[in-house]
Structure 1
Amino acid sequence: MSRTLFRSDNQVAYDKVPVQFKVLPGVREKLKAVPNWQERLRDFVDQLILEESCQNDKQ
C-alpha cells in the first residue's frame, strides 16, 4: 500500500508545471536552508502579483 509522502494545506492543487528562474551561485543552497522556504516563497510571489495588479488598476 502506498503512503502519501506530501500533503498540502492548499485546497487547490499546485500547477504541474513549476516556475523556474536562475539565481547567483550559492543562492540555491542558502534558500534551501531557510525553514519553510517553499511556502514562504509562494506567499511572496502571491503578494508580488497582488501588488502588481493593484498598480495596474491605478493606471
Structure 2
Amino acid sequence: MPFKKNNQYGFEKKLDRPLDKKIIGFRCYEGQADKLKQIPDWQEKFRLYIDELIKDHSE
C-alpha cells in the first residue's frame, strides 16, 4: 500500500548538507560490503571520510 503524498508519516531526510544527484559506485573486497552495512549510520560516516580524503589530497 503506497503512502499518499504529503502524509504526516512520510520519510524525512535529516542531513546537514544536500546530497548530489550523481552516484559514486565502487567495488569492495570480498566481505567488506556486508561488514560495512552492519555499521550504524555507515553512509554518513563514509561521506565524512570522503571529505577528509579530499581535504588531505588537495593540500
TM-score, length-scaled by structure 1: 0.74
Deviation at 1:9, TM superposition (A): 2.3
2:20 is aligned to: 15
TM-score, length-scaled by structure 2: 0.74
Cα RMSD over matched residues?
1.5
Give structure 2 stretches of 5+ with no counterpart.
none
Give structure 1 stretches of 5+ with no counterpart.
55-59
1:4 is aligned to: 10
Deviation at 1:45, TM superposition (A): 0.3
Deviation at 1:4, TM superposition (A): 3.4
User: Partner letter of residue 52 of structure 1?
Assistant: H
How many positions carry a matched residue from both structures? 53
Deviation at 1:26, TM superposition (A): 1.4
What are the equivalent positions in structure 2 for 1:32-47 lying under 5 Å apart? 32-47=37-52
Higher helix share: 1
User: Partner letter of residue 13 of structure 2?
Assistant: R
